[in-house]
Amino acid sequence: MPDFSLGLWIVLLLILGAEFVNGWTDAPNAIATVISTGSLSPRMAVFMASVFNMIGVLSGTAVAKTIGKDIIDPSAVNLITVGGAMVGIIVWSTIAARWGIPTSESHALVAGLSGAGLATAGPGVLLWVGWKKVLIGLFFSSVLGFAASLLIMSVVYWLFRKTVPGQVRGLFRWLQVGSSAFMAFGHGSNDGQKFMGAFTLALFIGGVVPTFDIPKWVIFLCAGVMTLGTMVGGWEIMKTMGFKMTKLETHQGFAAELAAASTIEIASRLGIPLSTTHTISTAIMGAGAVHRFSAVRWGVTQKLVIAWILTFPICGLISWTVVKVILYIR
């Protein structure tokens, strides 16, 4: 039986708390559009997202390994570093959720680990191999999601150009249920894995595991906690994503979810941590803008972009401060 110290227990609980917040604040992005178009009831959508999020988490560990060993040098940090990063994530994400702002837990985690790592060991703790993947993920979520949604919407309009919209609404209602399930799976395969990486990092630092291999029990534990968070549901975030950015029809919701989920899944297989929030947001913008540019409520979008930009410095600063305070009073 592994020897878990009190400090390690506290850090592991903080990681699970951050994973719960991830399911609570980030997973709603996967089902916001399917609720806003009326394809599924909120209760059924949350249940479906919970199931497919868990399946997605169980689908691989490439992203988890990137987060756990490639963002900051595991040999240069300690449990205080990991714990401080989790505090930053929980504080910022909870505040943003109260305002109905869909922040990126991915960026919060990277920023938190970086801020806490800088406080512990200085700039040398940051690893370019992982940050390169983060930058690629920014391109995927911001550009690829938008472009893929535009392309899918253009194809849909061309294929059904001679069809009355009311005649295909029922078809796209069911297609959107499938694309929403795919989106929930994608969220689990990328976002869900990230905290598995942080959990294993803590176990590695604590001496519980000798190498950075994700234990099976960690996969199931993190998947279960994120599923519980998803069941709680971030209803204010769903309103922002599904109703406030643009008015979506079922075919637009289908296009946005298919584009976002495909982008996320490619990134997951390459071990690239990207923001599912950014990806579905830009995909929704693409689906709304293909018909007419003014269909997107750019004022709401501007607020989201500001929140995304603030995530890096705010989470990094909170985590840096927490670690410095603990080291000072220790």
- How far is residue 127 from each of residues 43, 66, 124, 181, measured CA to CA in Å? 42, 10, 8, 34
pLDDT tens digits, one per residue of 145-185? 889 998 998 888 888 877 766 677 778 888 888 888 898 89
Backbone angle region of 260, left / alpha / beta, with phi > 0 → left and psi within -120 to 50 → alpha: alpha
Please enumerate in sequence order all residues whose Cβ is within 8 A of that of 308, keeping only pairs 6 or more positions apart, or say none. 103, 104, 107, 275, 277, 278
**What's phi and psi for 58, nearest 5 deg?**
-80, 0
Q: Residue 242's closest CA among 230, 256, 231, 229?
A: 256
Q: Where do the domains of the chain lie?
A: 6-329
pLDDT tens digits, one per residue of 246-288? 566 788 888 888 999 999 999 999 999 988 878 888 888 888 7
Please enumerate in sequence order all residues whose Cβ is within 8 A of that of 240, keeping only pairs 6 or more positions apart, or say none. 32, 100, 101, 102, 300, 304
- Quick one: pLDDT at residue 73? 94
- Quick one: pLDDT at residue 261? 92
pLDDT tens digits, one per residue of 72-99? 999 999 999 999 999 998 888 778 767 6
- Quick one: pLDDT at residue 173? 82
Neighbour count for residue 10 (Cβ, 10 Å)? 14
pLDDT at 318 over 90: yes
- How far is residue 268 from each of residues 29, 70, 262, 276, 307, measured CA to CA in Å? 17, 15, 10, 11, 24
Query: The pTM is what?
Result: 0.83
- Quick one: pLDDT at residue 187? 84
